[in-house]
Amino acid sequence: MPKTVLIVDDSALVRKQLAEMISTLNFDIEFAKNGREAVTKATLQQFDVITMDINMPIMDGIEAVKKIMEAQPTPILMVSSLTTEDAIITMDALDLGAVDYIAKPGTMNVGKNENREEILHKVHALSMISLRRLKRRMSRTAIRERRRPEPISSRRTISDTRSDIRSSKDLQKVILIGSSTGGPGLIEQICAALPANYKHTLCIVQHMPEQFTAAFAERLDRACVLSVLETKQNMELLPGTVYLARGGVHIGFAKKVSGKIIIREDKDKGTCFFQPSVNKMIESALEIFDGANLVGVILTGIGDDGADAMVKIKQAGAYTLGESEESATVYGMPKEAYDRGGVQEQLDFSSILQKIATLR
């Protein structure tokens, strides 16, 4: 029996463009012109995937996601314009249970193979998520929301929560984290769990376009007692700080004559499917840091980004962790890293979170 997709968008052009792409997967396709239609159809039929626009008449995509996830949990892929405003709204949709997002066709060059590939990869990956896995993910999200503390910004003081070690020469462990589909909520949990006296440095690649990483970094900074920064060229790497790789560029590291370690950006995408790339970040770290001072972590995501580099840092003496199939929303990236021999310990996310937060 073919899988079924519900395309929700008030634009006939966008519906047509998405349908032409998704039809190549041999999925059955239905349409809704607004959120209210989507809720009605989604509660009468169990779709394998729903693509959901944000701004629509009668009922917007955020309200529709909320109602669908309450009545008939379904893997939902948000269709978002590449704007900061839509990035913030899309993050809210992920909090309500949406799994991932794609760029609205009108905001990208639809003719480019990589855009078409990304849409097809994500629709196919979401169609493989079981209802059991989806409901477990929703349960974790609900628990996180109930426990969400007041914004850090309202209770953080510079003097008593920021590390007093302010030079890259004092770096201890550098934790390199890669994630994709299903990852933003996990990254937020990691940031929220870090204690004020945390001495290590986190560098995170979450597959996102540039407008999204800027908004996501601000969101993480509000949840974290440490500073969370979106990376920039020549930014110094400091202890007790979290760095989120800027979308649209690869990040790496360089050591200056003074001994200072800085961020290096590379705008050349090369052969990588994703930019930033987890592989690029980890491989660059190996050129600067001793393997014993690195920790590699691969979380949920589509594809194999980071798998080859995890093998390299493990061989160099790094401690490597991969999310287990049991907890991963999409068991793609961590599976490839594990199968290739790059994962020292494969654990559920709660155990990975504990390992990172208590690392000495």
Is residue 213 classed as helix, strand or coil in its secondary structure?
A: helix
Q: Which residues, 6 or more positions from 188, have their beta carbon under 8 angstroms from its beta carbon?
A: 144, 219, 220, 223
**Which residue in the list 179, 180, 277, 284 is annotated as catalytic?**
180
How far is the C-alpha of 33 from the C-alpha of 35, rounded, in Å?
7
**Which residue in the list 207, 221, 284, 324 is annotated as catalytic?**
207
- Copy the structure tokens of residue 201: 């440095």
Q: What secondary structure does DSSP assign to 292-360, as a single string?
A: GGEEEEE-SBSS-TTHHHHHHHHHTT-EEEEE-TTT-SSBSHHHHHHHTT--SEEE-HHHHHHHHHT--
In the annotation, is 207 catalytic? yes
Q: Where are the alpha helices (DSSP H) in the chain?
A: 12-22, 35-44, 61-71, 84-95, 113-127, 131-147, 158-161, 184-193, 210-223, 278-288, 307-315, 333-339, 349-357
Q: What is the DSSP letter of 148?
A: P
- Copy the structure tokens of residue 29: 């396709």
Q: What is the DSSP letter of 283?
A: H
In the annotation, is 305 catalytic? yes
In the annotation, is 250 catalytic? no
Pairing of strands 250-255, 261-266: antiparallel
- Copy the structure tokens of residue 260: 């200072």
How far is the C-alpha of 221 from the C-alpha of 187, rounded, in Å?
11
**Which residue in the list 250, 305, 324, 327 is annotated as catalytic?**
305
Could you give the residue numbers annotated as active site?
180, 207, 305
